[in-house]
Structure 1
Amino acid sequence: MTGTGKTVTRVDLCEAVYQKVGLSRTESSAFVELVLKEITDCLEKGETVKLSSFGSFMVRKKGQRIGRNPKTGTEVPISPRRVMVFKPSAILKQRINGNGSGSDGANGADD
């Protein structure tokens, strides 16, 4: 899984677990699915999922507002809803931008 612009899928994650951890392909797949299900379940309950050195997944509530139909210009009410947000950690930001290995977190970056 290198920086080639490729989209990484569940199958790719399962294969990476299989290659690096040594579980069977079935166990690797079950493990990945279990982790994703746990994250999903927490988010459905409105909980924040914080993964150290990676980032946080959270659900935010957006209130009703007035939007505009771009074709007609007519005002249209937009219903209140919940949206999922991902906030990367400072360490992940550093690694993505190539500013150090991100292994110690002591590079003085703000978050």
Structure 2
Amino acid sequence: MAKTTTFSKSDLIDAVAAKTGFAKTNVKDMLDATLGEITDQTAAGSKVTLIGFGSFEQRHKKARMGRNPATGAEVEIPASTHLAFKPAKPKKS
């Protein structure tokens, strides 16, 4: 199996700066503002859709019973909320 490479936030900033000619600090500020706004909007209960890319929304998980793998004892897993991303369907060729 081939090793998966990681494309980090700094790699993204470098790539966008190279393609646009903008300074890396400007690209970083724009990316931080974009990600911050997505986080704020989803935290407020909105679904954020970027056409052709995907959508972000908060998903709620109900409380449920699980098992402690070390002891086998049943434990209650509390309800939680997490940020979910659903990629857009690929364009047809």
Normalising TM by the smaller chain, what interval? 0.7 to 0.9
Structure number having the greater strand percentage: 2
Give the SS at the match of 1:83: strand
Matched with 1:99 is: none
CA contact (8 A) 1:56 1:86 kept: yes
Question: 2:35 & 2:83 partners in 1: Cα distance?
Answer: 14
Structure with higher RCO (Cα < 8 A, 6+ apart)? 2
Q: State the identity as a percent.
A: 38
Structure 2 residue 66 is the aligned partner of structure 1 residue 67: yes
Question: 2:71 & 2:86 partners in 1: Cα distance?
Answer: 35
Question: 1:49 & 1:8 partners in 2: Cα distance?
Answer: 23
Give the SS at the match of 1:90: coil
The one-letter amino acid of 1:28's match is V
- After superposition, give the CA deviation of every residue in 1:55-78 in whole Å (9 maximum; x if it has no partner): 111111111111111222211011
**TM-score normalised by structure 1 residue count:** 0.72
Q: CA RMSD in A?
A: 1.7
In structure 2, runs of 5+ residues without a counterpart are none
Query: How many pairs were matched up?
Result: 91
Matched with 1:56 is: 55
Moved over 4 A (4+): none
Question: 1:49 & 1:15 partners in 2: Cα distance?
Answer: 25
Report matched runs for 1:1-111 at 5 Å. Answer: 5-91=4-90, 102=91, 105=92
